[in-house]
């Protein structure tokens, strides 16, 4: 056919292939017939199919137009040649002159030197590349989009045939051969994003039955089925957004997440591509699976955290559409109390699972700012990020332990492990009950020192826990979390109203608002970051605010207006690296305060503080303390920057201890300087949430700590059992005797145990 002249080509091609699939008896016969038909339909002089073999080798399995003795003989490594490049990237290549492409790899036995143009398409299934199909012509030409569409549609059909090649004899579709050690325990390491420990059966997200029918017998009927399922999906999402996850403050952020998700699910682009595939002759399910396969391949190539999140939401919506097509409005699986294992998960799916009794969650590709993480945090579902390979290794219904405290998933634990965790969970329940009784008692040490125990927050749902937690106030309010939940910047009025609700919810208790801390793994649309070799050390936090002063000024105005009246507004700037940066940010705050005071819309008192997260700031402390009204130490970033160890990397996150002599010496030095300058200093972050680490922080002279609300009762109990002066003397001597930068954890824990400290 002439290039681009036949819009019915995909449908006619699939019709001819349906006959071949019914008549050919062996896989080789089917593949050989396919390449002949494709070559004829697309007016190609060559059509070849390469199949992925073990060791990431692509084997020429069938060809029309190349030499037949090259079949099963010609092999390419993934990444080698044009075919290998397509397999490595998961993306098609349309080349008018393939032999002059830098990736071209000549194979003399094929006889392909006579052909110039080439269109190569990956064969994808579940985001995995199983092979490549390619067509070639002697003429220098660019293949038309209709031809590319036909070949992409065929590639989906080929995926099922390629899977059949590697299937063991007699195995049913979708069966996985199990290894001999499937009954042995397996441990997967990760990073806990929401704390908690859960025992229960596992359920693997996305474990839907394999699609058996690819070609449609009645395309008109398939179109009707697809449209009905799309309508049901949208109706279900509308109901979910209306319902949210409950009443009150928790619904605001989750509704923002779901509204953004609903817009993505309604996007015309991905639905149009699915409709086109059905028109071409695929079943509705196969058309959705084809789109999902392309999405997964794109996700492998995208490093931008925001774009990956949007693609994950689209993948989630595609899964929901498949469920509606199959009549599975809710996924089948384990009884309430199950642990969900998933590579990625969208917010709507998470809410569905939660309604069915979700107890714990592992996300292999989870991140602190993913939509699912925001929702899991609001629902207080223990969440572990990482654990690569867990989804593939698990079988539905198998027992598991999800320990988001220590960062591990134990699959198929033996009886001793189960017994140990059951005892630990029981003890934690008793401990929580005891702590709840003393949560509202003042955090006063045995020798009469009053400690300020604050809580961290980022959602209105968190503010609702303030009164019951017994915290003195909010020592860290992460303002960017609500922005990330919305999927974009709020308008000025909505932002002001949000901060006003936080101030009102605090009911007179102090709130330390941290200005936008974007960048790194927290990205929003409208921030053209580009590729950064090390985002954690790149354009983020206050650096963005100073480079985008209009955005920072707008946030400062919203904070000032929200706290207007006889109140004190506390604003702290994150990731301050030089005193000059702090002065510049403080000058913006002063200017906005002066402007609003003239209009009568400013707070009575405005305090400006800096976050100490970058070690370089320690050597600028005298100048900083002349400028700052207070200082807050961010233990997470300070620890990772001090030791040059990525806290999100499971391999090194636990390698260097917060309770090492270098870290404690640094904290003691900062505390002494702040005390001499009469500048209040606090420590927030994960370290403050663990009683043993909080004990050490108090021992070096810091008298204020901030942590998640759930950790407040335990830290207060530790404070009330402590003779601080005695421990401070012990720790000072221990630090003097320490050498080599080793951890002091064992010695501190032994002292606490010997002196009856509640940990």
Which uninterrupted H or E stretch holds 468?
Answer: helix 466-469
Question: Could you give the CA distance from residue 277 to residue 280 in angstroms, rounded to a whole number?
Answer: 5
Q: Residue 750: how many CB atoms within 10 A of its CB?
A: 10
From residue 50, how far is each of 35, 57, 83, 118, 303 by CA, in Å?
11, 9, 8, 14, 28
Residue 282 · residue 153 · CB < 8 Å: yes
From residue 268, how far is each of 150, 240, 287 by CA, in Å?
21, 21, 15
Task: Kindly state the tokens that stand for 530.
Answer: 């580009």
Which of 73, 61, 65, 59 minimizes the C-alpha distance to 29?
Answer: 61
Residue ranges with strand state E in 78-116: 93-95
> Does the active-site annotation cover 684?
yes
Determine the distance from the C-alpha atom of residue 14 to the mean position of all C-alpha atoms in its chain, rounded to a whole number. Answer: 38
Say what the alpha-carbon torsion angle 336, 339, 341, 347 is, to the nearest 10 degrees: 60
SS3 state at 409: strand
Which of 60, 42, 64 minimizes the C-alpha distance to 51?
Answer: 60
Which uninterrupted H or E stretch holds 109?
Answer: none
Task: Kindly state the tokens that stand for 666.
Answer: 């640094």
Question: Could you give the CA distance from residue 553 to residue 133 in angstroms, rounded to a whole number?
Answer: 55
Which of 35, 85, 81 minimizes the C-alpha distance to 61?
Answer: 35
Which of 14, 57, 53 minimizes the C-alpha distance to 34?
Answer: 14
DSSP per residue, 542-584: HHHHHHSHHHHHHHHHHHHHHT-EEEEEEEEESS--SHHHHHH
> Does the active-site annotation cover 205?
no
Residue 414 · residue 185 · CB < 8 Å: yes
Task: Kindly state the tokens that stand for 449.
Answer: 């020192």
Residue 220 · residue 228 · CB < 8 Å: no
Paired with 201 in beta bridges are: 399
Helices (H) and strands (E) in the chain, counts: 28, 21
Residue 214 · residue 156 · CB < 8 Å: yes
Among 47, 204, 674, 684, the one annotated catalytic: 684
Question: Could you give the CA distance from residue 572 to residue 353 in angstroms, rounded to a whole number?
Answer: 38
Rounded to 5 degrees, what angle do the CA atoms 638, 647, 613 make? 15
Task: Kindly state the tokens that stand for 440.
Answer: 């509202």
Question: Could you give the CA distance from residue 191 to residue 205 in angstroms, rounded to a whole number?
Answer: 19
Among 144, 371, 465, 529, the one annotated catalytic: 371
Q: Which parts of 199-243 fold into alpha helices (H)?
A: 219-243
From residue 477, how far is each of 297, 502, 573 by CA, in Å?
37, 9, 11
Q: In terms of C-beta density within 10 A (0-12 exposed, 13-18 middle, 19 or more buried), how is residue 295 classed?
A: middle
Which of 123, 127, 128 minimizes the C-alpha distance to 154?
Answer: 123
Length of the chain: 759
Question: Could you give the CA distance from residue 573 to residue 514 in angstroms, rounded to a whole number?
Answer: 6
From residue 747, how far is each of 349, 597, 662 by CA, in Å?
46, 53, 15
Radius of gyration in angstroms for the set of CA atoms belonging to the chain, rounded to a whole number: 30
Question: Could you give the CA distance from residue 427 to residue 422 in angstroms, rounded to a whole number?
Answer: 9
Residues with a known catalytic role: 371, 684
């Amino acid at each position: 056919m002439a290039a681009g002249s036949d819009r019915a080509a995909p449908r006619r091609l699939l019709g001819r292939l349906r006959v071949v699939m019914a008549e050919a008896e062996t896989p080789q016969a089917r593949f050989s017939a396919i390449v002949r038909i494709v070559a004829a339909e697309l007016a190609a002089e060559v059509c070849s199919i390469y199949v992925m073999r073990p060791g990431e080798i692509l084997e020429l399995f069938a060809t029309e137009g190349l030499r037949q003795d090259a079949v099963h003989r010609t092999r390419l490594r993934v990444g080698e040649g044009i075919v290998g490049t397509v397999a490595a990237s998961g993306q098609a290549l349309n080349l008018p002159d393939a032999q002059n492409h830098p990736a071209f790899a000549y194979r003399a036995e094929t006889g392909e030197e006579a052909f110039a143009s080439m269109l190569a398409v990956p064969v994808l299934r579940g985001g995995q590349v199983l092979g490549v199909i390619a067509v070639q012509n002697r003429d220098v030409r660019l293949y038309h989009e209709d031809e590319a569409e036909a070949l992409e549609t065929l590639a989906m059909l080929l995926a099922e045939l390629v899977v059949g090649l590697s299937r063991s004899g007699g195995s049913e579709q979708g069966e996985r051969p199990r290894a001999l050690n499937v009954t042995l325990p397996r441990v997967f390491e990760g990073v806990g994003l929401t704390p908690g420990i859960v025992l229960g059966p596992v359920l693997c997200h996305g474990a839907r039955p394999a699609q058996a029918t690819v070609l449609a017998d009645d395309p008109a009927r398939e179109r009707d089925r697809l449209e009905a399922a799309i309508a049901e999906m949208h109706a279900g999402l509308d109901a979910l957004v209306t319902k949210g996850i409950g009443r009150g403050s928790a619904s605001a952020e989750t509704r923002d997440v779901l509204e953004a998700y609903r817009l993505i699910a309604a996007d015309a682009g991905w639905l149009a591509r699915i409709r086109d595939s059905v028109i071409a002759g695929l079943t509705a399910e196969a058309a959705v699976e084809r789109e999902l396969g392309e999405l997964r391949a794109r996700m492998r190539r995208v490093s931008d955290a925001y774009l990956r999140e949007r693609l994950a939401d689209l993948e989630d919506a595609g899964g929901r559409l498949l469920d509606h097509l199959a009549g599975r409005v809710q996924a089948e699986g384990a009884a309430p109390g199950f642990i969900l294992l998933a590579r990625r998960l969208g917010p709507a799916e998470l809410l569905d699972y939660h309604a069915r009794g979700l107890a714990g969650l592992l996300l292999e590709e989870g991140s602190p700012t993913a939509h699912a993480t925001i929702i899991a945090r609001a629902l207080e579902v223990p969440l572990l990020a990482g654990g690569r390979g867990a989804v593939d290794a698990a079988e539905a219904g198998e027992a598991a332990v999800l320990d988001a405290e220590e960062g591990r998933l134990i699959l198929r634990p033996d009886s001793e492990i189960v017994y140990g965790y059951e005892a630990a969970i029981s003890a934690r329940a008793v401990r929580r009950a005891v702590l709840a009784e003393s949560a509202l008692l003042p955090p006063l040490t045995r020798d009469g020192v009053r400690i300020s125990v604050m809580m961290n927050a980022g959602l209105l749902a968190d503010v609702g826990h303030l009164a019951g937690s017994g915290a003195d106030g909010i020592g860290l309010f992460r303002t960017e979390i609500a922005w990330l939940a919305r999927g974009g910047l709020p308008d000025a009025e909505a932002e002001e109203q949000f901060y006003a609700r936080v101030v009102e919810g605090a009911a007179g208790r102090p709130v330390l608002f941290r200005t936008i801390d974007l960048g790194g793994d927290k990205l929003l649309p409208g921030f053209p970051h580009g590729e950064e070799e090390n985002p954690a050390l790149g354009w983020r936090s206050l650096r963005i605010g100073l480079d985008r002063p209009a955005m920072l000024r707008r946030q400062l105005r919203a904070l000032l207006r929200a706290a207007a009246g006889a109140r004190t507004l506390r604003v702290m700037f994150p990731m301050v690296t030089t005193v000059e940066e702090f002065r510049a940010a403080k000058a913006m705050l002063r200017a906005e305060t002066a402007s609003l005071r003239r209009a009568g819309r400013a707070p009575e008192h405005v305090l400006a503080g800096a976050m100490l997260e970058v070690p370089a700031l320690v050597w600028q402390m005298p100048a900083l303390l002349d400028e700052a009204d207070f200082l807050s130490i961010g233990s997470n970033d300070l620890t990772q920057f001090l030791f040059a160890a990525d806290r999100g990397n499971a391999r090194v996150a636990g390698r260097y201890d917060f309770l090492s002599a270098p870290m404690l010496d640094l904290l003691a030095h900062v505390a002494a300087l702040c005390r001499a300058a009469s500048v209040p200093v606090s420590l927030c972050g994960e370290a403050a949430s663990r009683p043993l680490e909080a004990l050490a922080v108090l021992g070096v002279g810091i008298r204020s700590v901030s942590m998640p609300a759930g950790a407040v009762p335990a830290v207060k109990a530790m404070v009330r059992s402590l003779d601080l002066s005695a421990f401070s003397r012990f720790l000072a001597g221990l630090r003097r005797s320490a050498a080599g930068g080793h951890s002091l954890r064992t010695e501190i824990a032994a002292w606490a145990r010997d002196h009856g400290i509640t940990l």
